[in-house]
């Protein structure tokens, strides 16, 4: 049994990870900025200051976790209203991450698992699944901040010897999902026509429970030390396949209209939604073979099982 501290513990991924860790006998400390529904067998730790200011001084007395899994972040949002988005992302995702890592090291934590993002590397695979050593070409402030945090942590590892593990997931889905994935389900459930029948570029996804299992392995397996891993479901669908699968589980076939991708991209440019269209029409597959080879890990759930669970939650929440 390990003692594991999880930041962002009341978030979408954090809550799943805390439950999984507790159910597997680990001693879990849930670091969060606000009160939330407690998870059984998980110790809450409230730290309300932004960007982990004062985290060293407020460290719980006598607590020396074996590992920190760092999920808390300023996440990617559409139409960011911050005066300087990159500065805002850096304050949380770079400076805050290093502040937490230094406090963890000073309190005897041996390993720091950082949950980054595929956006730290690229927005498109250009026809070749992205491996962990692909050249980093982030395209927005969120991706830049995640890449810079990764680089800062590797420098910190060289300085201190603390074990660092970087995990880069693609789009995460599952019960409780929000943002674009939720909007896709809503559109399919309402029977709205969607101009994506010809969207055949494959994009990697990861079911939230699959990601939680991978993070647990990265926190506890000695072979994970000082390694970067891509984590994704097996057999990524294209967007049209994904929408059809959602329709099948919803009991309402997706109404897909086949529009040439060039025309769809032109409409995206004219309507100011080019970034949204690009994400729906360009491929973004991850090569996740390293974690399979190194840690003998495979996703415990198939994509179809994950979609079924997600739709079951969606239908229950919208009765």
Instruction: Show which residues are catalytic.
Output: 142
DSSP the chain: --EEEEESTTSHHHHHHHHHHHHTT-EEEEEESS--PPPTTEEEEE--SGGGTTTTTTPPTT---SEEEE-------TT---SSHHHHHIIIIIIIHHHHHHHHHHTT--EEEEE--GGGT-S--TTSPBPTTSPP---SHHHHHHHHHHHHHHHHHHHH--EEEEEE--EEESTT--HHHHHHHHHHHTT-EES-TT---BB-EEEHHHHHHHHHHHHH-GGGTTEEEE---SSPPBHHHHHHHHHHHHTS--EE----HHHHHHHHHHHT-HHHHHHHHS-B-B--HHHHHHH----SS-HHHHHHHHHHHHHHHT-
């Amino acid at each position: 049994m390990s003692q594991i501290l999880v930041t962002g513990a009341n978030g979408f991924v954090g809550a799943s990870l805390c439950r999984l860790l507790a159910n597997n006998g680990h001693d879990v400390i849930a670091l969060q900025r606000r009160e939330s529904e407690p998870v059984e067998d998980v110790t809450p730790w409230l730290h309300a200051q932004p960007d982990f200011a004062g985290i060293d001084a407020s460290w719980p007395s006598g607590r020396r976790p074996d590992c920190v899994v760092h999920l808390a972040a300023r996440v990617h949002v559409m139409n960011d209203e911050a005066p300087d988005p990159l500065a805002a992302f850096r304050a949380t995702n770079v400076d805050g991450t290093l502040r937490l890592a230094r406090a963890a090291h000073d309190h005897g934590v041996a390993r720091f698992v950082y949950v980054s993002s595929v956006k730290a590397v690229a927005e498109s695979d250009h026809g070749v699944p992205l491996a962990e050593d692909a050249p980093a070409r982030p395209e927005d402030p969120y991706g830049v901040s995640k890449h810079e945090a990764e680089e800062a942590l590797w420098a910190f590892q060289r300085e201190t010897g603390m074990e660092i593990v970087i995990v880069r997931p693609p789009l995460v889905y599952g019960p409780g999902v929000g943002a674009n994935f939720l909007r896709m389900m809503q559109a399919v459930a309402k029977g709205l026509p969607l101009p994506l029948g010809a969207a055949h570029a494959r994009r990697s996804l990861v079911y939230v429970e699959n990601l939680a299992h991978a993070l647990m392995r990265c926190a506890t397996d000695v072979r994970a030390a000082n390694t970067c891993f891509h984590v994704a479901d097996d057999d990524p669908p294209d967007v049209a396949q994904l929408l059809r699968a959602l329709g099948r589980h919803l009991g309402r076939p997706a109404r897909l209209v086949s529009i040439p991708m060039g025309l769809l991209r032109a409409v995206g440019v004219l309507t100011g939604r080019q970034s949204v269209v690009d994400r729906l029409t360009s491929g973004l597959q991850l090569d996740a073979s390293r974690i399979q080879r190194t840690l003998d890990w495979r996703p415990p759930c198939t994509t179809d099982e994950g979609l079924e669970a997600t739709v079951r939650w969606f239908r229950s929440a919208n009765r």
